[in-house]
Structure formats: structure tokens, C-alpha cells
Structure 1
Amino acid sequence: MKLKKIFSVLMLSSCFANAGAQQVFKISQFTQHNYLFNPAAAGANDIASVGVTYRKMWSGITGGPQTVLLFADKYFAKKNTGVGFFLYDDKTGPTSRTGGELNLSYSVKLGSDSKRLMLGLAGEVLQYKIDKAAMQNYIPDDPLLASSGSTIKGDAAAGIYYKSPTLNLGVSIKNILQSKLEFIKGSTNPSGKLYRHYYFMGSYNWKVDEDNVIVPNALVQYLPNAPVDVQAGVRLEHKDLLWVGGNYTYKQSYSLFAGVKINHKLAIGYGYDQYNTPLSIFDNGGDAHEIMIRYFFLK
């Protein structure tokens, strides 16, 4: 791919939101971080934890998407309440999104503590920035270059999550308010907005013996004017000591990942993705690497 073509791909996928591009970061091991996409899942793990994830996509080209996440959550059993938050920095080409989200969930117990219906709300604040200097040579006459190149917006999310020892299901909406970015104040030209993202998630814990659990899982994402994103896969967990698995994203990529948990408290994981579109291995850029470190506060 020539530089200008690569730049165009990055611009279209990250800057002009009214084209229907995905605006929320993506990670491979989504079943271990459900509350990043569904606020109702805050505290669903029951054990308080804090962690960090770094992900770099299309690593063979300059300006490929990269995401840094700092996250934590805790469940307060006496109050039937879960709290979660995450901070993120998400960059693609000349654009970046930096922000944070606070998640609150309330659980309705369904006969026992192990089964509950969780309802969640979240508030988000983000700064959307454009590196005008990086765009100058490609769109020198664009009115966007006369703007500040930065805007701060707020938005909200909501969700429902069913938790049990075996079956876990959830549905959520992010960017409910669809806040307008308005880089160019007072302009009649569209300047983009945050589009609603709809998520449907599910997983099943199949305990095959005393030491091993197989977890088939799926995540479906929908937003207007864009293809439906369907991810599905399976993860094998052994004695709460290690895990290994893989996912497939329909007509886009496959993922392989593995991790270990030290003393049942410190988890370290790595994921690798290989993309078929919009870049592939033949473009020397169609892969992604993801590293996760998470600490569980066990007594």
C-alpha cells in the first residue's frame, strides 16, 4: 500500500464518524472484560480487580490503531451493587480519543447469590483530537484545519446482564446521546458525531472435569451504516492457573491468545490477531498484538 492510500484508510475509519465507522476500541479477550462494553457487568466477576491492557493493530504501518486501557471493578454484595471504571487512550492515524467511563450496576438476585440479573448505567467524558499538522499535506484546503482540532464531549451507556455459574448473557448500548463532535463551530457542514453502538454478548462455562472449563463465547456489535461485527470463539481454563483460546471475527480476522495466573491473583495474558481486511499479511500490516496485566484482590 502506498502512504496516501494507508492514510486514507486511517482517516475514513477514525475521523469521519458520519461515515458509520467504529468509534469504540476493540479488544480480543472481550469475555474477560465485559463491563468495558456493558456497564451492567460491572462487578459480575465478584472479585475486585484492577488491570491494564495495551493493544496495537496493523503493526506494520505507521499510524496503525493503538489503545491503552486502565480498568478496575468491584462488587459490593451487601448493597447488591457493582462499580467499575476505565480510562483509555485510543489513537488511529491523525485522530485520538482520550477519556474515561464510570459504570454502576445493581443486581436482582434470582433465587440465589450465584444467579442474578444486573442492570447498569454509565457516564463517559472524552476528548476527541485531530493532529492537523499530519493532515496538512493531504487535505490542505479543508475547513477542519482552521478549527481548534480538539473537542470534549460527554455521553452515556446502559445495559442488562444475566450472570450465573454457567450461562452469561448481556445486551448494552453505548453513545446513547450521540453527542455531536462540532469541530467547526457554526458550520452547516456535517462534522461528525458519536454513533450508538449496540452490543450483544454471551458465554457458557462448561466444566468438563474438576480441573478444566471450556468457555464458548460470542460478541455481536451493531451500529448504523456499518457491517454487523460478529466475534465468536472458545477459551480453555485450567485450574484457575492458565487459559488458552481463539476467536474468529466474521470476514475480518482471527485471534489466538493465552495467559497465566500467578497465585490466583496476578493474571498476565497475550493475544495475537491476523486481519484479512482492510489490511492483511500481504500488506505487511494486517496483524495486532495485545498485552494484559490484571490483579485480583483475593483475601
Structure 2
Amino acid sequence: MKKLIPISLLLVMFMLANNLQAQQDAMYTQYMFNTLAINPAYAGSRNVISATALFRNQWTGIPGAPKTGTFTIDAPVFNDKIGIGFQFISDKLGVTQTTGAVFSAAYRIKMDEGTLSFGVQGNASQYRVNLTDVSLSPSQPYDPAFANNIDKMLFNFGTGMYYNTDRFYIGLAAQDLMPNDLSAERTSGAKLSGKQALHLFFSAGYVFPVAEDLKLKPSFLVKGVKGAPIEADLNATLWIKDVIGIGAQYRTSADIAGLIELQATPQIRVGYSYDRSTTSLQNFNSGSHEIMLRYEFGFEKDKILSPRYF
């Protein structure tokens, strides 16, 4: 017998209720290491070929809880005037599975102290919702809302701006500019309404020298989407000798998190974060885990004189 998945029921109510919109894109605690996923203007900003893999296991212990994996790679081209990037993503939440690829391009303008970039992206994703896998109440074994699965190829695009120096960055981006239809058709022809919603991201960060071997790196990410409360991630990391970073994060009305980063070599950085819910959801899960690995190719001597913080 099919197993009842509580979060699947929540998801269907969340996504398919009439005229309801909510945050649909995957979220990351280590957003500062996965910036290309939220802002296409970030492409090429590290001035080398940079590849990042990230996996997030959210709300451990809840059946059907989100599991997200991403791989991004970006690089500057044409004398660093253009940045290009590719992202591959797999996001599973209950009976919903989204798998896709994203291409980003950024036009980069060198300024006195930093670089200003304007970016665009296009993405294609396979969107599947296995509604027939949801077990219903024995007293009502059939519900037309769960009678048909959804399997769609979605195309969308986004845009963004990004400015960075060695110690500061600020960015603004808009994702999912096309309101793609996520609906399922009932056998009667009636439709359950659901659409992709516009997502806005505003982020910034700065590195403050505290002592000779200590630097404090605060940053924030504000996320907005139609139909959902504005959410902010507030982060602060203390870097020790530019090798080890220890940090904490607060996600408004949602989570607190601890982070640790290690610059293992000039080319390799690893990171781990652990989130704990601050809502009643904490009674049903043992936290969220996220691991990140970054590798940078093609270093030149004149490009590694100062550490990269973003």
C-alpha cells in the first residue's frame, strides 16, 4: 500500500490551491557560495573558472522533506568583459521533482575599485508531480485533485545586477519572470490553478578587518515572492588567518544555523552548515544539513594575491 507522505499533502495544497502563490525556488543557507543560483550577473566575478557543488538535506526526519543538489561552473571570457555560467539542479519535495539546467551570461564593466555586472539567464526544467502516489483517506479513496500526475517542460528566464570589490558585494536579481502554468487538468476539464511566481533577491556583504589574523564577514540575503512573506537571511562569519571561517545565521521566522568553512588550498574550499527550526516544525525534524565544495581552475600568479571572500 502506498505510504502516506504528510509533506506531499501540504505541497499540493501549497502549490495547486486556487490563486495561491508561495516561495517555489530552492533555498540555501550557504547562499554566499551559490550566488550564481540566484543572480546571473555573478557569472565570472571570481576571475577564474570556478566550480561549486552543493547538497542540501532539509528537515531531516520528515518524510518527503526537500532534498536539493546543485552544480555550477562559471568563468570570465573575452578579456574578462563577459562572464558565462552553467548550473544543473535537482530539487525534490514530497511528490514533486524538478530537474533542470540554467545558462547565465553577464556583461562586466571594470570600475576604479570594483566590477559592475549585468546578467541574464535562461533555464529549462522538467517539472513532475506524482499526485497519484499520495494515499488518501480510506473513507474517500478517490479525489479528482489527485487523479492525474503532472509532467511538464518549463522554460523561464531571469536577470540581475551585481557589483563587487575585493571586500564588498551587492546584488539584485529577479527570477522566474514568466508565470508558467503548473496546473493539473481534472478529468472533468476543470483546472486546479498554480503558476510560477516572480522571485526577487537582494544581497550584500562586506569584510571588516578585526585584527591581524581575524576578519569579520557579515552578509544578508532578502527574498521576496508574491503571496509569501518577505524572508531575510542574516549571516556573520569570523575568518581566522583566511583559512577557517566560523559563522552563524538567522533566517527570519524560520531557522538559526551554524556554519564552518575551510580554505583547504588556494583552489579548494569546503563548507558545512546545520540549520535548526525556530518554529513548531522543530518538533518534527532533527535539523537541516548542507555541504558545499568549490574548486577553482587555472590560477595565475597575479590573480591570487588577495583571498576571495565572495
Is contact 1:246–1:254 with CA below 8 Å preserved after alignment? yes
CA distance in 1, matches of 2:94, 2:18: 14
* Residue 256 of structure 2 corresponds to residue 257 of structure 1: no
> What RMSD over aligned residues (CA atoms) do the two structures have, in Å?
2.3
Is contact 1:217–1:234 with CA below 8 Å preserved after alignment? yes
* Residue 53 of structure 2 corresponds to residue 48 of structure 1: no
Shift of 1:103: 0.8
* AA of the residue aligned to 2:295: Y
Is contact 1:241–1:264 with CA below 8 Å preserved after alignment? no
User: For 1:53-64, what aligned pairs fall within 5 Å after superposition?
Assistant: 53-64=54-65
Change (3 A) 1:213 1:18: farther
Shift of 1:210: 4.4
* Greater than 6 Å deviation, 4+ residue runs: none
2:238 maps to which of 226, 236, 251: 236
The answer for unaligned runs of 5 or more in structure 2 is: 301-310
CA distance in 2, matches of 1:146, 1:232: 42
User: For 1:219-234, what aligned pairs fall within 5 Å after superposition?
Assistant: 219-234=221-236
2:268 maps to which of 262, 266, 269: 266
* AA of the residue aligned to 1:122: Q
Change (3 A) 1:88 1:278: farther
CA distance in 1, matches of 2:16, 2:212: 49
Change (3 A) 1:98 1:140: farther
Change (3 A) 1:217 1:146: same
* AA of the residue aligned to 2:269: A
Is contact 1:98–1:128 with CA below 8 Å preserved after alignment? yes
Change (3 A) 1:74 1:18: farther
The answer for unaligned runs of 5 or more in structure 1 is: none
Change (3 A) 1:217 1:17: farther
CA distance in 2, matches of 1:117, 1:65: 34
CA distance in 1, matches of 2:17, 2:101: 22
Task: Quote the residue 1:93 is aligned against.
Answer: 94
| Partner SS, residue 185 of structure 2 | coil
* AA of the residue aligned to 1:162: Y
Task: Quote the residue 1:291 is aligned against.
Answer: 291
Instruction: Report the more deviating stretch, 12-21 or 99-108.
Output: 12-21
Is contact 2:72–2:86 with CA below 8 Å preserved after alignment? yes
User: For 1:1-299, what aligned pairs fall within 5 Å after superposition?
Assistant: 6-13=7-14, 18-76=19-77, 78-111=79-112, 114-137=113-136, 140-184=141-185, 187-277=189-279, 279-280=281-282, 282-283=283-284, 285=285, 287-297=287-297, 298-299=299-300
Change (3 A) 1:243 1:8: same
CA distance in 2, matches of 1:18, 1:256: 36
Can you list the C-alpha shifts for 1:257-281, whole angstroms capped at 9, x where unaligned?
Answer: 102122211222111000123611x
Change (3 A) 1:81 1:223: same
- TM-score normalized by the length of structure 2: 0.86
Aligned length: 293
Identity of aligned residues (%): 27
- TM-score normalized by the length of structure 1: 0.89
Shift of 1:228: 0.5
Is contact 2:44–2:76 with CA below 8 Å preserved after alignment? yes
CA distance in 2, matches of 1:5, 1:62: 7
